[in-house]
Amino acid sequence: MRLTRRDALLSASATLFSPLLPRMSFAQETPRRGGVLTAHLGSEQRILNPALRASTGVYLITSKIMEALVDLDPNGNPAPVLATGWEATPDGKAVTFKLRQGVTWHDGKPFTAADVQYTAMEMWKKHLNYGTQLQQYLEAVDTPDPHTAVFRYSRPMPLNLLLRALCDLGYIAPRHVFEGTNILENPANTAPIGTGPFKFAQYERGQFIIAERNSSYWRKDFPYLDRIVWRVITDKSAVAAALETGQIQLSSYNGLSLSDLDRLKEDNRFEVSPRGIEANAFNNTLEFNTRRKELSDVRVRRAIAHAIDVEFFIENFLYGQAKPATGPIPSSSPAFYPDGKPPYPFDIKKSAALLDEAGYKRGADGTRFTLKLVPIMNGEDVPLLATFIQQSLAEVGIKVEIVQLDIAGALTTVYRDWNFDLATGWHQYRGDPAVSTTVWYRSGSPKGAPWTNQWGWQSDKIDQLIDQAATEIDPAKRKSLYAEWVKAVNEEIPVWMITERQFFAATSKQVRNHHNVPRWDSSDWHDTWIAAS
């Protein structure tokens, strides 16, 4: 068999996607204390408080300063951070967290269950995006003693869902700083106070943020680094230059352009890989507005999917940094991934046949009908995919007009005004399908809620599956419910998950113990160090 470039790329990405590589060990090296790690920051955040804003951009900075109850271990299982143990009652309606003792906030006050109670009830339940949904049925947090917090729910809460979600949605803020103030306007939102290995030091808008070593951190003798600096660089080409000149040592979440990632892969000063970002998989999507008569016919939706050569797109536009998706649950999520093949392989004859069957014959000019496509600019590949879709669909006689808007404009147009026929953007998977994935398919989402089912499409069967799985406390049963659900939504495709992708980071090889946990860029970096140059 001849090995083509495509084969090489596909097998390369298969290895990259093999779930959760073991923690890299540098046992032969003694960690060096001291030094400064400078990381890239692509866009500035309005608020630096992960208990109020769930976003990778916020975690990138604040996860070093504030801490969550749990985080993921190298194998992707929940590991203790501020919580040392957890237990759920058999009915799933109460979850007890044992909290770490002897932890102090950066201002010297002790960390207790009162902080957990306050953060959960006042921040996660009231303000935190995705947290408000996760904690919808949270009734109270009891604090029988200063180191125990009992979460009481009115409906069963699967422990695994809660633990996985809490890695992102479980950051604790200091009660004594926020209580009695206007939470959204508290100055600690831009000068965070936490329990983490680094203390917030300085924020120069438009330039940099600095955090300094916390010498009284609860993990004795950690962290290794003296200081972390985040440099604001908005231009992607400038990020590559900053990496190459050593101004920064790290850029994650595709902070570099796809072409620079591809180029730096060959450069032995850097490691370019999705390792340590597995927990944040994403898909290129195609959303159908089924209010449009043609698109309400599932045969037309399937025909459109069959008309697009996904592998060609991946190889030529994404530099092979993806693979065709098999459904809304990515293969990097072993706890839920049901296995399977891409449901709609490229087949232009089948596509044309389906369209004929649905009754949309080619007109005199070869066109069957015209659709309006709104790209939602999550990344540089979105406009490329929009053009690729336009050209692919022209082949089967569907004319596509692309409406270019910036992301705020596109979100409004698609999700609030429903003024689209097709839309394309990203779906981000957040560790558990119940966090931000099933909302793409569940009916009843209020008009205007972005990245939810606004397609004018509804299925009782799928709604039921989603609701059942969300409260099922047996992990094995949950997994099989989601497998059934994936099968059903693949049949119906109100949204088509086109590619399955992972974010890539480019890291200088001087940095040690990097990307050794599945959400490393959003973890605390307590064991990260820098080798002498």
Partner 1 sequence: MMRVLLLALRRLAASLPTLFVLLAGLFLLLQLAPGDTVDALVAQIGGGDPRMIEELRQYYGLDVSVAVQLGRYVWRLLQLDLGFSAIYGKPVSEVILERLPATLLLMGSALSFAFAAGMALGVLAARRVNRWPDTLISTLGLVFYATPSFWFGLMGIVIFAVKLGWLPAGGLEEIGAGYTGLRRVADIAWHLLLPTLTLALIFLATYLRIMRASMLEVMNLDFVRTARAKGLSPRRVITGHVLRNALLPMVTLVGLQAGTMLGGSVVVESVFALPGLGRLAYEAVVQRDLNTLLGIVFVSALLVILINFIVDLLYARLDPRIVT
Please, which residues have CB within 8 angstroms of residue 431's CB and are 6 or more apart in sequence?
164, 165, 167, 168, 279, 333
Decide if residue 449 touches partner 1 (CB under 8 A).
Answer: yes
Decide if residue 191 touches partner 1 (CB under 8 A).
Answer: no
Contact 445, 415 (CB under 8 A): no
Through-space distance between the first and last CA atoms of the chain, rounded to whole angstroms: 44
Q: Which is nearer to partner 1, 12 or 191 (CB)?
A: 191
Q: Which of 253, 219, 221, 106 is nearest to 172 (CA)?
A: 106
CA neighbours closer than 13 Å in the CB half-sphere of residue 292? 22
Decide if residue 488 touches partner 1 (CB under 8 A).
Answer: no
Instruction: Using CB under 8 A, count the residues that bind partner 1.
Output: 63
Question: Which residue stretch of 154-162, 260-268, 290-298, 401-409 sits at the interface with partner 1 (rule: CB under 8 A)?
Answer: 401-409
Q: Which is nearer to partner 1, 108 or 444 (CB)?
A: 444
Question: Which residue stretch of 4-12, 205-213, 343-351, 509-517 sits at the interface with partner 1 (rule: CB under 8 A)?
Answer: 205-213
One of 2, 22, 102, 204 touching partner 1 (CB under 8 A): 204
Report the alpha-carbon distance of residue 430 to residue 115 in Å, rounded.
25
Report the alpha-carbon distance of residue 111 to residue 350 in Å, rounded.
62
One of 16, 20, 51, 54 touching partner 1 (CB under 8 A): 54
Binding mask 402-421 for partner 1 (x = CB under 8 A): ---xxxxxxxxx--xx----
Q: Which is nearer to partner 1, 94 or 242 (CB)?
A: 242
Question: Which residue stretch of 4-12, 68-76, 122-130, 214-222 sits at the interface with partner 1 (rule: CB under 8 A)?
Answer: 122-130
Contact 99, 82 (CB under 8 A): yes
With 0-12 / 13-18 / 19 or more C-beta atoms within 10 angstroms meaning exposed / middle / buried, residue 390 is middle
Question: Which residue stretch of 185-193, 324-332, 343-351, 388-396 sits at the interface with partner 1 (rule: CB under 8 A)?
Answer: 185-193
Q: Which of 268, 258, 388, 276 is nearest to 321 (CA)?
A: 258
Report the alpha-carbon distance of residue 365 to residue 355 in Å, rounded.
16
Interface with partner 1 in residues 144-183 (CB under 8 A):
none
- Region for residue 431 given its phi and psi (left: phi exceeds 0; alpha: psi -120 to 50; beta: otherwise): left
Element (H, E) at 391: helix 381-395
Q: At its nearest, how many Å lie between partner 1 and the CB of residue 124?
A: 11
Contact 36, 499 (CB under 8 A): no
Contact 125, 131 (CB under 8 A): yes
DSSP line for 132-180: HHHTTTEEEEEEEETTEEEEEESS---HHHHHHHHHHH-B---HHHHTT
Q: Which is nearer to partner 1, 237 or 391 (CB)?
A: 237
Decide if residue 38 touches partner 1 (CB under 8 A).
Answer: yes
Report the alpha-carbon distance of residue 167 to residue 524 in Å, rounded.
12
Q: Which is nearer to partner 1, 13 or 249 (CB)?
A: 249
Q: Which is nearer to partner 1, 332 or 413 (CB)?
A: 413
One of 121, 142, 208, 369 touching partner 1 (CB under 8 A): 208
Question: Which residue stretch of 78-86, 91-99, 198-206, 493-501 sits at the interface with partner 1 (rule: CB under 8 A)?
Answer: 198-206
Q: Which is nearer to partner 1, 57 or 475 (CB)?
A: 57
Q: Which of 531, 517, 444, 509 is nearest to 77 (CA)?
A: 517
Q: Which is nearer to partner 1, 132 or 459 (CB)?
A: 132
Q: Which is nearer to partner 1, 343 or 431 (CB)?
A: 431
DSSP line for 268-315: TTEEEE-TT-TT-EEEEEEEE-TTSHHHHSHHHHHHHHHTS-HHHHHH
Question: Which residue stretch of 61-69, 97-105, 233-241, 344-352 sits at the interface with partner 1 (rule: CB under 8 A)?
Answer: 233-241
Q: At its nearest, how many Å lie between partner 1 and the CB of residue 136?
A: 9
Q: Which is nearer to partner 1, 243 or 489 (CB)?
A: 243
One of 221, 349, 446, 460 touching partner 1 (CB under 8 A): 446
Report the alpha-carbon distance of residue 424 to residue 437 in Å, rounded.
16
Q: At its nearest, how many Å lie between partner 1 and the CB of residue 214?
A: 17
CA neighbours closer than 13 Å in the CB half-sphere of residue 255? 30
Decide if residue 231 touches partner 1 (CB under 8 A).
Answer: yes
Q: Which is nearer to partner 1, 231 or 265 (CB)?
A: 231
**Residues contributing to the site for partner 1 (CB under 8 A):** 36, 38, 43-47, 53-58, 127-130, 132-133, 184-185, 189-190, 204-208, 210, 227, 229, 231-235, 237-238, 241-242, 244-245, 247, 405-413, 416-417, 428, 436, 445-446, 448-452
